Structure 1
């Protein structure tokens, strides 16, 4: 009876993750506010801005979009994997993949998103190469290579472990 009570308690403790996911929703809202701020700063000066400046601002929007998508992915996959099963049929607008997220897929999508965000940051630095010190460029490139290598190793290890099943 004690063992059963402990198992029920441990199983119920998964709901302690819910505040973390709700906080991530607040982070998503904060990124939405930041996107609004970027648009507010971009639009009034659009006509007199150089193409490179507009491109840098748009890359910032793409960066925020990737980060936001990453947050949504973590929220849904974490909820579905650790708290409760999702029922996409309840609403017609839910994507099909929502109910089929597994932890391996989340890791690969997470690393892919991190690599994409890093690539955008690196591209932004190279677009503004006149104002970016060489040391920063080296750090951006080095970090990006580490992320690419890490994603590659993760994909390889997942493929190797998947073949043994």
Structure 2
């Protein structure tokens, strides 16, 4: 069999997935920045434990939860994205392998990411409502609208993923065609 002169092109295209590696490494650096930010906020909370009122403590704790949720989002993107789009991690049967990694694909990753974004948006919305007297109605309205857009997007992505992974069989005899037969 003769080799096609374009044979190197598919190899180059396939190898181009490795261009994502610096992006994932950059996200690992961003994860480190979030760890630093988290520790600064914990120190801030501890240093004001006797002076903060309950509302202020709740806002700081919600901020900490927000950082953890963003960190979880980063892990999903780094680990799931690398495994899905770049190369296998080779951690099969490792005791620390995350359960969700067994069945990760682009569709599952999108749904998990959208759910994480909804969680992060919910935390921000809760912080806004707790501190509503410091926010304009316009800001609150747009935050709610954006949150609803996240919700609708997540539902749409989950629906599309379900349609792709569980296609409905074509209508055969006795299904939708049964109504046409009954008119004879």
Q: TM-score, normalised by structure 1?
A: 0.93
Return 5+ residue gaps in structure 2 as ranges: 169-184
Find the counterpart in structure 2 of residue 71 from structure 1.
74
Contact 1:38–1:61 (8 Å) recurs in 2: yes
CA RMSD of aligned residues (A): 1.5
For these two proteins, the number of residue pairs brought into alignment is 165
CA separation of 1:90 and 1:162: change in aligned 2, threshold 3 A: closer
Moved over 6 A (4+): none
Find the counterpart in structure 2 of residue 59 from structure 1.
62
Find the counterpart in structure 2 of residue 27 from structure 1.
30
Q: CA deviation at 1:110?
A: 0.5
Q: TM-score, normalised by structure 2?
A: 0.84
1:153 to 156, 174, 178: 156
Worse overlay, 53-62 or 42-51:
42-51
Between structure 1 and structure 2, the one with the greater Rg is: 2
Return 5+ residue gaps in structure 1 as ranges: none
Q: How big is each residue's C-alpha offset from its partner over 1:52-98, in whole Å with a ceiling of 9 and x where there is no partner?
A: 11011010011111111111101111111111112223743222432
Find the counterpart in structure 1 of residue 90 from structure 2.
87
2:131 to 128, 132, 152: 128
Contact 2:128–2:135 (8 Å) recurs in 1: yes
Contact 2:108–2:161 (8 Å) recurs in 1: no
